[in-house]
Every structure is written in structure tokens, then in C-alpha cells.
A and B are shown apart, each in its own frame.
Chain A
Amino acid sequence: QVQLQESGPGLVRPSETLSLTCTVSGGSFNNNYWTWIRQTPGKGLEWIAYIYYTGSTKYNPSLKSRVSISLDTSRSQFSLNLRSVTAADTAKYYCTRGGGWWEDWGQGTLVTVSS
């Protein structure tokens, strides 16, 4: 089973960029989709984006103008950048493996947007 671990700052100032990294161990990047999902008390679970091992990406249109996802296979990592954050982006962010369903999840990292 693949293990995933999110890392990044727990506090981000409004209008700045949220940057998270997910480190993958125990498995290969090949032939996998790597996905970010977030969870807020108000909106529940929300799919953010995925990146295929080839580098192709798909984004949630509601975030598309602000979000990017990238892959670093040499480090077994994939990353999320979310620009111009507001309080509405305060959430627990999960990295996961999968494209249509997600069997492997990181433990999640809480990111608070506040000045």
C-alpha cells in the first residue's frame, strides 16, 4: 500500500500563495493519478485537481484560475499551489492516489488563512 504525507505551512496570509507538497512512499508514480482534495466544515469534501504521472492535469473550474499542481518524480513528490487565498480556502488538505476513486490518502494537513 502506498503511503502519502502532506507537508507545508499551517498558516497562510490572505492574498498569498498556499503551497503544499505530498511525499509518496511504498509505491511507484507510474500509471497513477495523484489528486488533491480538501475538506471544510461548511462545504464538505471538495475535489481540487489531479495530475497523471505523465504530467497531464485537470483542475476544479471554481479554482482553476488560482491553482496549479506539479510532479517531481525524482523526489516522489507532487505539489499544490493555490494563489490569492482567502478565508474560504481554510481547510484540511489531503493528497491522495487515484483518479476516479481514492484508496490511499495522506493524513491531511490543516491550512488556516488568516492575517
Chain B
Amino acid sequence: QSALTQPASVSGSPGQSITISCTGTSSDVGAYNFVSWYQQRPGKAPKLILYDVSNRPSGVSNRFSGSKSGNTASLTISGLQGEDEADYYCCSYTSSSIPYVFGTGTQVTVL
């Protein structure tokens, strides 16, 4: 089972919107609405920001939104802020022998 594919880096200016893609296959992202997203700041544990493609846990800013089309899930950060600088990872349930596969990770830079 290969890792889900994410762009290595995405950048944007404060106030802009950016989108991070997460591309899998018909055995994972394309097959299930069980995609989650995590934000990880340096030296910290990942933080859940979306689950089941587009649901936000309590306390997570509504500037984070998610969607899915075919084998690709997307995370959009609206109104980009300096505090959004972090690494972002997607994760999907998969029908393979490994039930969960993570993305390769995307570093977000606020210019």
C-alpha cells in the first residue's frame, strides 16, 4: 500500500486561500468517505482538523474545509494566517491489508 500523494509544499499570502490535494486510488480515497486531515507544527503531535472528508472537530476554525472528488481529497485553508504555517497530512481508510494510509505531507508556508 503506497502513501497517498500530496504536494511537498504550498504557500500563500496572509488572507489568501490555499488548497492541498491528497491523491489516492479507488481502494482508499476513491472508495470511502473516511479521509481525515492533520496539522502538525514543529515538535508537536499531529492535530486533527477534519474527519470524514469535511467534518470539523469542535474547536477547529471554520477556515478549514474539505472535499473529495474521485480519488482526490482536498483541504482548503481560507483567510490564511501566520499560525497556519505547519505540515499537513491526509489519511484514508483503505481496503488493503493496512486499514489506514497517510499522505506524504505538505509544508504550508505563509509568505
Chain A residues within 8 Å of B, Cβ to Cβ: 43-47, 58, 60-62, 94, 100-103, 105-108
- A105/B91 in contact, CB under 8 A: no
| Minimal Cβ-Cβ distance residue in A for B37 | A101
How far is A5 from B16 in the complex, measured between Cα atoms in Å? 37
- Given known contacts A101-B91, A103-B57, is B98 in contact with A47 (CB within 8 Å)? yes
Q: Give chain B residues whose Cβ lies under 8 Å from the Cβ of A105.
A: 45-47
- A44/B104 in contact, CB under 8 A: yes
- The contact of A103 among B48, B98, B105, by CB within 8 Å, is B48
| Minimal Cβ-Cβ distance residue in A for B51 | A101
- Given known contacts A44-B3, A44-B89, A106-B45, is B104 in contact with A60 (CB within 8 Å)? no
A83 CB, min distance to chain B CBs, angstroms: 19
A64 CB, min distance to chain B CBs, angstroms: 9
| Minimal Cβ-Cβ distance residue in A for B48 | A103
- Given known contacts A44-B89, A45-B102, is B51 in contact with A100 (CB within 8 Å)? yes
